[in-house]
């Protein structure tokens, strides 16, 4: 096995030190998520990394290597789901291949638990795997393999609402041995939309506060690559950032509109991190508004913890966010967000204290607030400090991971009571 990278070592050491205080049994956990795209994959991957660093054995069972994983981390195993493509299959049945792999890995490595992220179709695959293990031919090998479903957002608010998916999503949630939601908002939505009465544990998104942090020397060295420092007679350029998968729900065009208004009043640049369906529309609008040469279109980036602290302000004008992980990651780096008052965002951003909230689409108000804040360095610094404090007081991995561990123990104990 190749050595882990320096930044990984730091992260592992931090988590290992944290884990010495509160010990829970070392567990073998299978994690499934969408590995290449979106916040649910990020949360699942970061969770696996943190659990592994705390001594658990983590098995990622996914279609490809999750994008924040090097594949070289200690205590982490990766099992690729291989989908057989037969000409008859217009749509190869990934869900079945996943269920098969889950059951195989669970049996071979004696997993204690499966933890799936994003309900569709992962909870159904986990349910099948549980049934396969519970009813296998060799009676001595039969056992109950509990699974937890973590709900992230569009699995409930969008995709799960479509009539073609609603009943199966409802069924997958109801059959789960444990269900967590990433915000109180999402828990309430799930209850309302699916009529679920059972317990749904709210465990918010988290961030590693040692890894996502403002480092003055690093910022001083890197920032001039993205925004010009003070030159004779000219003010330093401000730097804004947006991070997402560029889907319509993120309202990237609002980001460009806000930025164009900001640039008209304050010398500034924008880092656009990520990629997705709305990228070319964003490029066109940037050209039309004459700000394309002030925007760094950076595409997908691995180490966003190195980029976020360079910025003064984050823009997150989403149509909906069940939580807003991107804003939390920025806040941990001392960068406050201008965001929309939607979904679970108010559980993270306290308007006027650690960030600013606006109605969806109100780009004029967002731009006005951004300009005022960028011109008031004292208020901007206070808001950045409050943002960091919120992240470290409430959403650090050191606080949130033990909640997952405790929940695992509850679910495993319930599963043992249900032994076949």
CB of 59 to ligand GMT, least distance (A): 20
Given a contact cutoff of 8 angstroms between Cβ atoms, the answer to whether 28 and 56 are in contact is yes
* Six-digit token string for 303: 């180490």
Is the CB of 203 or the CB of 262 nearer to ligand GMT?
A: 203
Residues of this chain, 150-209, that bind ligand GMT according to CB under 6 A: 152-154, 182, 205
CB of 227 to ligand GMT, least distance (A): 27
Of 11, 15, 19, 38, the residue at the interface with ligand GMT (CB under 6 A) is 38
Which of these, 308, 117, 124, 145, lies nearest to 214 by C-alpha position? 308
Neighbours of 358 (CB within 10 A): 22
Is the CB of 45 or the CB of 75 nearer to ligand GMT?
A: 45
Binding region for ligand GMT (CB under 6 A) out of 229-237, 278-286, 304-312, 321-329: 321-329
Q: Which helix (H) or strand (E) holds 403?
A: helix 397-417
Report how far residue 391's alpha carbon sits from residue 383's, in angstroms, rounded to the nearest whole number: 12
Neighbours of 70 (CB within 10 A): 14
* Six-digit token string for 62: 């996914």
Is the CB of 152 or the CB of 261 nearer to ligand GMT?
A: 152
How far, in Å, are 10, 84, 355 from residue 90 at the CA level? 46, 12, 48
Q: Is the dihedral of CA 201, 205, 210, 211 positive or negative?
A: positive
Burial class (CB in 10 A: 0-12, 13-18, 19+), 278: buried
39-53 vs 6-19: helix crossing angle, rounded to 10? 60
* Six-digit token string for 401: 């991971």
CB of 316 to ligand GMT, least distance (A): 9
Of 81, 127, 239, 249, the residue at the interface with ligand GMT (CB under 6 A) is 249
Please compute, for residue 290, the number of CA atoms within 13 A of its CA located in the half-sphere on the CB side: 4
Of 121, 172, 324, 415, the residue at the interface with ligand GMT (CB under 6 A) is 324
Given a contact cutoff of 8 angstroms between Cβ atoms, the answer to whether 330 and 243 are in contact is yes
- Residue window 87-126: x/- pattern of binding to ligand GMT, with contact defined by CB under 6 A: -------------------------------x--------
Is the CB of 105 or the CB of 243 nearer to ligand GMT?
A: 243
Count of residues in contact with ligand GMT, rule CB under 6 A = 18
Q: Is 119 helix (H, G, I), strand (E, B) or coil?
A: coil
Kindly state whether residue 39 participates in binding ligand GMT, applying the rule CB under 6 A: yes
Of 102, 129, 314, 320, the residue at the interface with ligand GMT (CB under 6 A) is 320
- Residue window 133-152: x/- pattern of binding to ligand GMT, with contact defined by CB under 6 A: -------------------x
CB of 152 to ligand GMT, least distance (A): 3
Kindly state whether residue 311 participates in binding ligand GMT, applying the rule CB under 6 A: no
CB of 323 to ligand GMT, least distance (A): 4
Give the binding site for ligand GMT (CB under 6 A).
38-41, 43, 118, 152-154, 182, 205, 249, 320-325
């Amino acid at each position: 096995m190749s050595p882990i990278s320096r930044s990984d070592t730091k992260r592992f050491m931090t988590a290992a030190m944290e884990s010495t205080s509160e010990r829970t049994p070392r567990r073998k956990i299978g994690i499934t998520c969408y590995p290449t795209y979106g916040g649910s994959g990020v949360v699942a991957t970061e969770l696996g990394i943190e659990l592994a660093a705390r001594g658990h054995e983590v098995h990622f069972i996914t279609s490809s290597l999750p994008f924040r994983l090097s594949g070289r981390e200690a205590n982490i195993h990766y099992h690729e789901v291989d989908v057989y493509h037969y000409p008859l299959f217009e749509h190869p049945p990934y869900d079945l291949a996943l269920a098969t792999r889950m059951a195989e890995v669970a049996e071979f490595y004696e997993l204690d638990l499966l933890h799936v992220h994003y309900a569709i179709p992962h909870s159904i695959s986990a349910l099948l795997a549980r049934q396969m293990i519970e009813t296998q031919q060799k009676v001595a090998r039969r056992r109950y393999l509990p699974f937890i479903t973590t709900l992230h957002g569009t699995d409930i608010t969008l995709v799960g609402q479509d009539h073609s998916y609603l009943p199966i999503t409802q069924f997958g949630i109801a059959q789960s041995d444990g269900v967590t939601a990433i915000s109180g908002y999402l828990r309430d939505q799930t209850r309302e939309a699916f009529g679920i009465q059972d317990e749904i544990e709210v465990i918010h998104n988290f961030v590693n506060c040692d890894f996502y942090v403002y480092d003055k020397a690093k910022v001083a060295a890197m920032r001039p690559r993205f925004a010009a420092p003070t030159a004779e007679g000219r003010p330093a350029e401000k730097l804004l950032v947006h991070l997402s998968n560029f889907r319509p729900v993120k309202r990237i065009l609002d980001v460009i509109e806000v930025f164009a208004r900001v640039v008209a009043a304050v010398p500034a640049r924008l880092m656009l991190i990520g990629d997705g369906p709305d990228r070319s529309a964003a490029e066109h609008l940037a050209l039309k508004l004459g700000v394309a040469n002030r925007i760094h279109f950076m595409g997908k980036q691995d180490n966003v913890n190195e980029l976020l602290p360079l910025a003064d302000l984050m823009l997150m004008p989403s149509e909906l966010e069940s939580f807003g992980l991107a804003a939390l990651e920025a806040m941990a780096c001392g960068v406050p967000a201008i965001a929309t008052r939607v979904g679970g965002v108010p559980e993270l951003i306290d308007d006027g204290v650690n960030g600013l909230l606006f109605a969806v689409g109100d780009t004029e108000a967002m731009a006005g607030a951004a300009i005022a804040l960028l011109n008031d360095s004292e208020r901007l610094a206070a808001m950045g400090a409050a943002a960091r404090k919120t992240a470290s007081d409430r959403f650090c991995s050191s606080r949130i991971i033990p909640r997952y561990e405790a929940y695992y123990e509850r679910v495993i104990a319930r599963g043992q009571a249900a032994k076949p």
